[in-house]
Structure 1
Amino acid sequence: MAVRVSHASLERGTRRSFSNYPRRTTVRTRLRHQRYLDAMVTGDTEKIAEFITDDFVLVHITGYEQPGEEWLREMGQGQFIYHGAREQTEPTLTVSGNSAQLSSRIITDATVYGSRNNWHLAFTIDFVQQGGSWLLARNQARTW
């Protein structure tokens, strides 16, 4: 059973209408997303590594599917510097069993390969549950 929940609905308390839907899944997944963004901005690659699967893929706006290990290495080398990330829409979450997908629009202030810009990104993040934790398996970015 897939359920779509917005962050705003959590604030309003409408989650109670989903009797078979574990509230903690939404809270944990949303919190993991926020901590992931925070770790990007602080450049904390070790923390990001805790939040992603071993086979994590970051799909750039160019379509390049970058393995997580390569992305983290390039972050550590200063090729990706995130100065800020502001959500522009309330994220929506779809949960089905041990997988979830979060969608949101974000303005990311970042320096990528030496060029700084405010990137208007639509994120679609796939989560999987492993060992009781929700981990990011794939993050696809598109411009909007």
Structure 2
Amino acid sequence: MESDKENAEKSQIIDITRQLTELMIDRNITGLNKILDAGFTLTHITGYVQSKEEWFSEIESERMKYYSYTEVKTSVNIEGDKAVFVGQNLLDARIWGTRNKWRLQQTMHLEKRNGSWIIVKSVASTF
């Protein structure tokens, strides 16, 4: 049985991952920067590993444009000050010229620092 503390931690992690998606849609680079680690990387479904700076540039130029998402399923596994979040969304996005409703699964690794969860890396795949 999960404790109230563990449930609260899981809720915080789910909230921050939802916030990430909202900030992507809003093209809010300042907000994204607050919840992503300095060395954050995004691994795309193609296997391409992208730095935070390069990804931000793609969002700003709208080479990657996010429109909306529908959450399908989430899970969180916490071990100490590290966590793994797996989320499945139907993501309406235009990536490098192709617009689609992507069946996107994101596996995010997070670390708790100074009482806040920070997203260290995200690996995208399809489901």
Match among 96, 120, 123 for residue 137 of structure 1:
120
Which of the pair has more CA radius of gyration? 1
Once superposed, what is the RMSD of the aligned Cα atoms?
Answer: 1.4
Higher relative strand content: 2
SS in 2 for 1:18: coil
The structural deviation recorded for 1:41 is: 1.2
Code of the aligned partner of 1:116: R
Code of the aligned partner of 1:95: I
Q: Which runs of 5+ in 2 are unaligned?
A: none
The structural deviation recorded for 1:19 is: 3.7
The structural deviation recorded for 1:84 is: 0.7
Calculate the TM-score normalised by the size of structure 2.
Answer: 0.93
Aligned residues: 127
Deviation track 1:15-69 (CA, whole Å, cap 9, x = no partner) reads xx32485333112111111111111111111111111000101010010110111
Calculate the TM-score normalised by the size of structure 1.
Answer: 0.82
- Percent identity over the alignment? 24
Match among 13, 16, 30 for residue 32 of structure 1:
16
Code of the aligned partner of 2:89: I
Distance 1:47 1:18 in 2: 31
- The answer to whether residue 28 in structure 2 is matched with residue 44 in structure 1 is yes
Q: Following superposition, which runs of at least 4 residues in structure 1 exceed 3 angstroms of deviation? A: 19-23
